[in-house]
Structure 1
Amino acid sequence: MHFDFLQELIAVFMISIVVILICAKFKIPSIVALLVAGIICGPSALKLVSEIEAVDIMAEVGVALLLFTIGMELSLKDLKRIKRPLLIGGFGQISFTILLITAIFSALLPWQNAVAFGCLVTLSSTAIVLSLFQQKAQSDSPHGRVCLAILIFQDLVIVPIMLLFPLLSGKLELSLQESLITLGENSLVIIGVILFGKFILPRLMFAVVKTRSRELMLMTVLGFCFSVALITASIGLSLSLGAFIAGLLLAESEYSVSIMENVLPFKEIFTSIFFISVGMLLNLDFFISHIFIVLSIAALIFAIKLFTLVPVVKITGYSMRTAIISAFSMSQIGEFSFVLAGHALTLHLMDNDGYQTFLAASIITMTLTPYFINNAPQFAAKLLSGYFKKYAHEEDVLPEKQNDFNEHIIIIGFGIGGKSLAKVAKESGIPYVVSELNPDTVKRFKDIEPIFHGDASYPLVLEHLGVKKARCLAIMTSDPTGSRAIISNAKKLNPGLHIVVRTRFLSEITGLKELGADDVIPEEFETSIEVFAKVLNYFLIPRQQIEQYVQQIRKEVYSGAHTIDLGSNLQAIKDNLPDLQFASLKVEKNCKLIGTKLGDGILRNIYKINVAAIHRTTQNITELNAETEFFENDVVYVFGSQEAIIRVQEVFLEIKD
């Protein structure tokens, strides 16, 4: 068995770890560190990797998984909300950039080569931009949305561009009929995938989630993702576009959060490999010997992209501030440009020097992207206070996302307690969201409650539930291990969050409070309190006094006392406990009581019994006086001592002849 590639991969990982740690010390973004690690490991430096092709495959998987998670976070409903920047912004940016590049370079290159170069420059890096936006929680910001829309459009035009290159080189001629047939076949494939995702996938996912097997969930999700990716790749589209479509389809599922928590670790590692693979492409010798030309091309690319992106974003309806931030964010060359550059080299639309120059300049623009994204708001502020002063007070108006929770309650578990809390919150006008692990419960309530399937012990699930903006988190489950993880992660994400947690045993209060729970309700204690109150109520202790006892006991327990001194409470109960009982007695035929009146004093004076009420036929007589008479079949409600009630029964009994 050969482990050559595995050894190479381990070496790449080790070097990447060292480089990332060093860069972290100087606060250099991890993406830049990964590019540097790739350059060090690449064929022009240490030559650690001989099987570059295997690394490229993993890199492509990384980009596909990135687009998959982006699709899952977006959903088809959200995609409709960005259709204007998607269509107008995307088309405008692509066409404007290609025309400008062609006009500039036609004087130096054949127009076909200039057009090809324009196609390479027009694409931006979906992987870098969206990764950074995710890390900085800017995916749903105005510039996050418009960048996403334009980047998606760029991914869509990769196929026409790949078809255009052979036409530019004169090596492909397609008739109108062939083009229409190809378009029809591709459309049918995409429609088939969407129909599968709409009607069959939900049933499949329900069956998978019901097993509660994480392994099966992961295999199903990755299998669906890569199946769709391979289908789209087979018809000429990119793997990443297929993965994006798969993500969009799964985003409509109520199990999308659970899916994300399973896939996220894989996405991170494969995306890292992509950035390493990009660094490996750079030829250091060529870069050093042509450094001034490379830097000049990089600066020109940056300037052209800024010049084209600002007006394009502005005409889609966004503010000038958003347009400037978006332009700086997308000013780099995209990962798919490397693929297209390889095709251009093969078709002689670019020579080897041009390829290496473009490659080096592209990596420079990618390396600078974290800096531009971090500082884009400051650049925008300076430009708005100078050249674009008249646009300084413009604001973006965006529709709210469906799951944009704020100042809400997060309810973990939708059993009896969770349902009761949700009902009270709804009636009180308090926004809330529910997390539940039972797929049957989620399916039953998904159309009537804001309920999601997911394990809230994962930070990703808590973020999806809006934990950073929530006011209160109520854990209604009785899983101590899960509760500890939820409390710990929730407090890290939102230190000011008020957490109320249910637990089974009194002994768990201290540990849960140390983790960050504000209120812990132990079931065994609350049950005992309820029994305690019911018993005292039965013995006619005044309600105010019962409540006083209960409050005092609760205070002692919830203050964290390990031993509870109830001696004074129990003595007070004993001293105040009246020897009274209620009873209902029927006036039987021919008994001694028939025909007598309450004022005669038989019950009170002889038996020491008090009458509270009399039920006669269909009415209750509660207004009693001395003239109230006892009739046969009356039901008399009396109270007195246990002894007195036993003795008085003789006057109610039938007298036998």
Structure 2
Amino acid sequence: MSVEIPILTDVVMIFGLSSAVIIASHRFRIPPVIGFLLTGVLAGPYGLGLVGAVDEVEIFAEIGVILLLFVIGMELSLAELQRLKKPVFVGGAAQVLLTIAVLELPFMIYGVGLGKAIFIGFLAALSSTAIVLKLLGEKAQLGAPHGRISLGMLIFQDVAVVPMMLLIPLLAGTADNPWQSLGELLLKAVLVGAVLLVAARKVIPRVLEAAIRTRSRELFLMTTLGLCFAIALLTSSVGLSLSLGAFLAGLIMSESEYSHSALEGVLPFRDVFTSIFFVSIGMLLDPAFVLAHLPQVLGLAGAVLVLKAFLAALAGRLLGYPWHVAILGGLCLCQIGEFSFVLAGVGMGNKLLSPVEYQYFLAVAILTMAVTPFLIAAVPAISTRLVKLMPPGLKAEPPKAEQEDLHDHLIIAGFGLGGHHLARAAKAAGINYVILEMNPDTVRRERDRGVPIMYGDASQAAVLEHINVTKARILAVVISDPAAIGRIVATARAQNPALHIVVRTRFVSEIEPLMQLGAQEVVAEEYETSVEMFIRVLSTYLVPRGDIERFVREIRAEGYGMLRRPVLNTADACNLGGVCSSFGATVLRVVPGAFVEGKSLIEARLRKEHGLTVVAVQRDGRTSLNPDPEWVFEAGDRVHVFGEQDLISEKAALFIGAEGDTWN
């Protein structure tokens, strides 16, 4: 006898329709988040009415929000907050407070109360972490200056959601004594924080370690999710929010050595439930309302996009970035974010939004999110145009001191990891060099250390003139902004036709355009990674080192062209009839109770009976090459064995003890 489960029908409908919409979205290069919102619009009560269990779907959506905040807490970590403290706490705070303050005024003039006006500012201040970080990551722009601006402000926004949710009852005036209520909330937050701090240091690590020791992925995942929901339930039970508990649980987990394993297990659940969250948001939108109020919706959406972009750019300027970079960061943050939907739902429950105002909010928020992918895709073109149109006074100022003594020098554009290593090598080789960097904090810090670094945009002719680009020998471009790289190459080539330009980029497809702009050498990360991969693979198969190096030289000589059609003559590379490919060297660790423990090399008969040759043994930090037959194995020895790979896998049992730990 079969029993029909109503919610199951709706779940099947949601997932089936989502799959179809996401396929269509992928075809038209629309982010999945927009596809989920459209799914909700189509399936909701205002659309085709395909889903009836709206309340149950909202429960799933609430789980999605909890998991989303939990993952954000794990990904942030206290160390990450410390590293990005200025972009986060200065830039992020400026962006949020400016948005709230500026939007508060017109609504108060319009007659809206102070609490409601501040709440509307809350809704507008948040941007979409899910959309922005995904798009910037795909386009390799997270390391660019505008990417750093966006990341810092998004982190602050995600953290600011928690106090915003706590303040909603106060803004709504539902508390009898607002200041007393706020004090009680803060006291509860402190007490819960103290309890969680003790648990984070004394209890949770032991619980996680106990789960890890079982080597059961299922148990570890259940323990991780159990801790997340338990802490969320704790905060909710004392009058705080579920979201706050989830975020705190994530921060606690981020300090654990098992956080990466936990994150890997939770991510699929987060993706599924947050997808349902976006579907549930789309279900709330009334398309008929949007069509009936289309001019107002478009006007509000346009105003939000322009105002948020400008205010975020202003916050970027406070961080010391030039106007055109700050504006690009503002364009990335001009949409309404996913957590605004959470705040709006809480605000509806506290009578801060009427049903009509809620529909306006939904329409404007979804429209701004839908526009964002196209704005970010246009960022390189917008950046180029802004540089041309900007008055000289608004562009990045050139270095203050002219470098008249610089000649035959190296110019390094960018001081990330690549620029740091290049500068270190130049210093060791006695090469005169100067660095241009767009991050003002990096410039101040490194200049105090005596590094010849200056603040400036290498794509501007005035900046290059001040560092004597006409007398330089080499320009090395090691930044992460593809659009800026092209401008730098073109500007430098126009000023010094004899300059040797070396560029680092991400993809092989970007090599040819940069060569046409004037770069002599372009190093693609994608290419170099693939070269390193095949070097290691062929080395493991014991292809002679000389043959590998010859192959690498051929690829480099052909300017990466061979990478797309690699042909390796295995007959030349390995003259052992292919036999060498079946051999390899492996390190095995002797664990207590192993067959070889306490036996000498001759007693273990590893070569005669098992086909394994011991070439070295590491013990107590010392390495013994070709140990003599009387060598006695001890637990903890790291044994380097050579033989056929299949045989090594089979004979690894000789080194297994009660713990089953073999591989180092």
Distance of 1:125 and 1:234 partners within structure 2:
29
Q: Name the structure 2 match of 1:46.
A: 48
Given the two structures, how large is their TM-score scaled by the length of structure 2? Answer: 0.59
Q: State the 1:238 CA deviation.
A: 4.4
Distance of 1:500 and 1:206 partners within structure 2:
38
Q: Is the Cα contact below 8 Å between 1:102 and 1:111 reproduced in 2?
A: no
Matched, 1:556 2:591: no
Distance of 2:137 and 2:382 partners within structure 1:
21
Amino acid at match of 2:576: V
Q: Is the Cα contact below 8 Å between 2:323 and 2:396 reproduced in 1?
A: no
- How many residue pairs match? The answer is 441
Q: How does 1:338-357 map to 2 (within 5 A)?
A: 338-357=341-360
Matched, 1:519 2:539: yes
Q: Name the structure 1 match of 2:21.
A: 19
Q: Is the Cα contact below 8 Å between 1:82 and 1:146 reproduced in 2?
A: no
Which of the numbers 218, 234, 246 marks the counterpart of 1:231? Answer: 234
Given the two structures, how large is their TM-score scaled by the length of structure 1? Answer: 0.59
Which of the numbers 188, 193, 205 marks the counterpart of 2:191? Answer: 188
Q: State the 1:367 CA deviation.
A: 1.5
Structure index of larger Rg: 1
The DSSP-based 3-state class of the residue aligned with 2:16 is helix
Distance of 1:189 and 1:166 partners within structure 2:
20
Distance of 1:235 and 1:314 partners within structure 2:
41
Q: State the 1:244 CA deviation.
A: 3.4
Q: Name the structure 2 match of 1:497.
A: 532
Distance 1:563 1:129, change over 3 A: closer
Q: What CA deviation, in whole Å up to 9, does each residue of 1:18-49 have, x standing for no partner? A: 11112222222222222211211111111111
Distance 1:27 1:562, change over 3 A: closer
Distance of 2:582 and 2:356 partners within structure 1:
82
Q: Is the Cα contact below 8 Å between 2:166 and 2:241 reproduced in 1?
A: no
Distance 1:499 1:68, change over 3 A: farther
Amino acid at match of 1:201: I
Matched, 1:324 2:356: no
The DSSP-based 3-state class of the residue aligned with 1:261 is helix
Distance 1:159 1:495, change over 3 A: closer
Amino acid at match of 2:533: H
Q: State the 1:290 CA deviation.
A: 0.8
Q: How does 1:74-473 map to 2 (within 5 A)?
A: 74-112=76-114, 113-133=116-136, 135-136=138-139, 142-162=145-165, 164-174=167-177, 176-235=179-238, 237-387=240-390, 389-390=392-393, 392-393=395-396
Q: What CA deviation, in whole Å up to 9, does each residue of 1:383-420 have, x standing for no partner? A: 2332365454579999979x99999xxxxxxxxxxxxx
Q: Is the Cα contact below 8 Å between 1:384 and 1:391 reproduced in 2?
A: no
Q: Is the Cα contact below 8 Å between 2:541 and 2:582 reproduced in 1?
A: no
Distance 1:495 1:233, change over 3 A: farther
Distance 1:11 1:83, change over 3 A: same
Distance 1:560 1:35, change over 3 A: farther
Distance 1:147 1:61, change over 3 A: farther
Distance of 1:324 and 1:70 partners within structure 2:
26
Q: What CA deviation, in whole Å up to 9, does each residue of 1:558-607 have, x standing for no partner? A: 7558999xxxxxxxxxxxxxxxxxxxxxxxxxxxxxxxxxxxxxxxxxxx
| Farther off after superposition, 307-316 or 166-175 | 166-175
Distance of 1:206 and 1:563 partners within structure 2:
39
The DSSP-based 3-state class of the residue aligned with 2:52 is coil
Q: Is the Cα contact below 8 Å between 1:147 and 1:330 reproduced in 2?
A: yes
Q: State the 1:497 CA deviation.
A: 2.8
| Farther off after superposition, 554-563 or 291-300 | 554-563
Q: Name the structure 2 match of 1:608.
A: none
Q: Is the Cα contact below 8 Å between 1:305 and 1:327 reproduced in 2?
A: yes
Q: What CA deviation, in whole Å up to 9, does each residue of 1:613-650 have, x standing for no partner? A: xxxxxxxxxxxxxxxxxxxxxxxxxxxxxxxxxxxxxx
Distance of 2:20 and 2:243 partners within structure 1:
30
Q: Is the Cα contact below 8 Å between 1:155 and 1:241 reproduced in 2?
A: no
Q: State the 1:12 CA deviation.
A: 1.1
Distance of 1:310 and 1:121 partners within structure 2:
15
Distance 1:289 1:9, change over 3 A: same
Distance of 1:342 and 1:102 partners within structure 2:
20
Q: Is the Cα contact below 8 Å between 1:125 and 1:334 reproduced in 2?
A: yes
Q: How does 1:57-72 map to 2 (within 5 A)?
A: 57-72=59-74
Q: What CA deviation, in whole Å up to 9, does each residue of 1:331-366 have, x standing for no partner? A: 111223233334444554433322211211111011
Distance 1:153 1:383, change over 3 A: same
Distance 1:491 1:227, change over 3 A: farther
Q: What CA deviation, in whole Å up to 9, does each residue of 1:122-166 have, x standing for no partner? A: 222333334444555655655444434433433444455445544
Q: Is the Cα contact below 8 Å between 2:128 and 2:336 reproduced in 1?
A: yes
Distance of 2:230 and 2:364 partners within structure 1:
35
The DSSP-based 3-state class of the residue aligned with 2:303 is helix
User: Structure 2 stretches of 5 or more lacking a match?
Assistant: 399-411, 423-504, 507-524, 543-570, 584-664
Q: State the 1:307 CA deviation.
A: 1.9
Amino acid at match of 1:519: S
Q: State the 1:117 CA deviation.
A: 2.2
Q: Is the Cα contact below 8 Å between 2:125 and 2:336 reproduced in 1?
A: yes
Distance of 1:399 and 1:491 partners within structure 2:
20
Amino acid at match of 2:319: T
Amino acid at match of 1:40: L
Q: What CA deviation, in whole Å up to 9, does each residue of 1:415-435 have, x standing for no partner? A: xxxxxxxxxxxxxxxxxxxxx
Q: Name the structure 2 match of 1:3.
A: 5
Q: Is the Cα contact below 8 Å between 1:66 and 1:127 reproduced in 2?
A: no
The DSSP-based 3-state class of the residue aligned with 1:496 is helix
The DSSP-based 3-state class of the residue aligned with 1:331 is coil
The DSSP-based 3-state class of the residue aligned with 1:498 is helix
Q: Is the Cα contact below 8 Å between 1:63 and 1:127 reproduced in 2?
A: no
